[in-house]
Amino acid sequence: MAALGQQGRPVDEVIAELTEKRAGDVKWSDGKTFGMVYDGGPTVQAVAEQAARLYLHENALNTQAFPSLRHIQSEVVGWTADLLNGDENTSGFLTSGGTESILCGVLAARKRAHIERGITEPEMVLPETAHAAFHKAADNFGLKVRKIPVHADYTADVEAMANAVGPNTALVVGSAPQYPQGVQDDIPAIAALAKSVGANCHVDACMGGFVLPFAERLGRGVQPWDFRVDGVTTISADIHKLGYAPKGVSVILHDTKESRKYQTFVFDGWLGGFYASPNMQGTRSGLPMACAWAVMQHLGTDGYVELTQQTLINADLMRAGIVGIDGIRVLGDSQFHLIAMAAESGSGIDMFALGDALLAKGWYHDRQTPPDNLHSTVSNTNTGVIENYLADLTECVSAVRGTSTADRSTTYATLE
């Protein structure tokens, strides 16, 4: 542990050291990182950077002091609700990310179950492919999780879920698509299950929210998943993923204003005045909200359709390439921008050794298990590099065949 220096340092020196610190981070702008940072191109970066400069110091805690942030939130939420085929009752809030949107969705479901159905031991039913954030929410808010194994194709086993749904069910979860293998659950069946007991149905579209609406416009077969599906009560959609805004912004949508009320907190019993909070945050940066507004305005629907087209070209090329390489395969029938790559049985390929070999050539994937596999979130960031990637992949597959690595870690997120 070191103490903060007694004397401050000049701006140039501070920035020079920060720049140096950053040198060891992943170089996402070269397109070789499959996930984490999503690059909409130079003008999208420019508009976000200028919006960030304008809103660097603004605080959305109190929108009476910063009315522009109330308008920004309401406009971004409204555009997203429209994209997801909501109606005049659809409402929501901006949050800091997918996890916070999911926390809000779970909290609202729990409160609704308590107030409307008197449930004191709330449960949520979810497929094992649902994001870890649901388990975080259950842990934080005291819900019991009924985690249900999925089909061999990694989609939710709705019949098995039905057996777990009962009088204590507060929430039933499906994903469009789920993160690990990128496949989409049967949302109409899941929503019907939830409705049959008066529970909420949350559709996790953190990944798909800013892809599926545009894939549909491109004529891709998109199974029903949004507010057109009867029984869907909440949806999470991350603008800081394929919405191409910088980190720190997501949308939580509710089918009605009454449903939205269950996630808000109001308090009039301290000496600081009437306090109202729409999500998990108190003081709340206006920067990511303004960036989301600016990026969405700059792109428009046409811009998103173009970025989605490019993303799907990249992902299709990658999938076809993987399928064509002897010894590796794609898990599940993913149709969009998420790809999980595993070994064919008996191929003698250690996927994590393959991951290390790819990393040595600059290609960054997340690791998952079981089975051992390498995960890619493909986006416009990866435009123009897929042919090179597949050439390196072919070479690495040959190089690692019959070898293995002792490192079995699949750390996705870290504590420090």
Ligand X SMILES: *Cc1c(COP(=O)(O)O)cnc(C)c1O
Interaction site with ligand X (CB under 6 A): 97-99, 102, 131, 133, 175, 178-179, 204, 206-207, 238, 250
**β-strands 250-254, 234-237: how paired?**
antiparallel
Closer CB to ligand X, residue 168 or residue 234? 234
Nearest by Cα to 336 from 203, 221, 236: 221
As measured in angstroms, the least distance from the Cβ of 228 to ligand X is: 20
Shortest distance in whole angstroms from residue 339 CB to ligand X:
13
Q: What is the distance between the alpha carbons of residues 78 and 280, in angstroms, rounded to a whole number?
A: 21
User: C-alpha 348: how far from its chain's center?
Assistant: 33
Q: What are residue 266's phi and psi, to 5 degrees?
A: -125, 145
Least distance from C-beta 100 to ligand X, angstroms? 7
Residue whose Cβ sits closest to ligand X: 98
Q: How far is the CB of 56 from ligand X (least distance, A)?
A: 21
Which C-beta is closer to ligand X: that of 239 or that of 330?
239
Asked if 172 and 126 touch (Cβ cutoff 8 Å), the reply is yes
The smaller minimum CB distance to ligand X, of residues 97 and 357, is found at 97
> 33 near 26, Cβ under 8 Å?
yes
Whether the CB-CB separation of 365 and 338 falls below 8 Å is answered with no
Host H or E run for residue 275: strand 275-277
Helices (H) and strands (E) in the chain, counts: 12, 13
Dihedral-angle region of residue 316 (phi above 0 means left; psi in -120 to 50 means alpha; beta otherwise): alpha
Cβ proximity to ligand X: between 66 and 134 the closer is 134
Residue 60 or 102 having the CB closest to ligand X: 102
CB closer to ligand X out of 156 and 349: 156
**Closer of 310 and 377 to ligand X (Cβ):** 377
Query: What's the CA gap between 203 and 8, in Å, rounded?
Result: 49
Secondary structure class of 382 (helix, strand, coil)? helix
Q: How far is the CB of 266 from ligand X (least distance, A)?
A: 25
Q: How far is the CB of 108 from ligand X (least distance, A)?
A: 16
Q: Provide the minimum distance between the beta carbon of 216 and ligand X in the complex, in angstroms, as a whole number.
A: 18
Identify which of residues 35 and 353 has a Cβ nearer to ligand X in the complex: 35
Round to whole Å and give the CA distance between 47 and 292.
10
Helix (H, G, I), strand (E, B) or coil at 148: strand
Q: 386 Cβ partners below 8 Å, 6+ apart?
A: 314, 317, 318, 321
Q: How far is the CB of 99 from ligand X (least distance, A)?
A: 3
Residue closer to ligand X by CB (options 119, 133) is 133
DSSP letter for 29, please. Answer: G
CB of residue 145 to ligand X, shortest distance in Å: 15
Residues 91 and 260 sit within 8 Å (Cβ to Cβ) = yes
Contact predicate 315/380, CB 8 Å: no
Task: Return the number of the residue (33 or 168) whose C-beta is nearest ligand X.
Answer: 33
Burial (CB < 10 A; 0-12, 13-18, 19+), residue 25, is exposed
For strands 123-127 and 144-148, give the pairing.
Answer: parallel
User: In the complex, what is the shortest distance from the CB of residue 66 to ligand X, in angstroms, rounded to a whole number?
Assistant: 24
Give me the least distance between CB of 336 and ligand X, in Å please: 12
Distance CA 174, CA 126 (A): 7
Nearest to 278 by CA among 262, 255, 298, 300: 262
What's the DSSP call for residue 339?
E
Nearer to ligand X, 175 or 279 (CB): 175
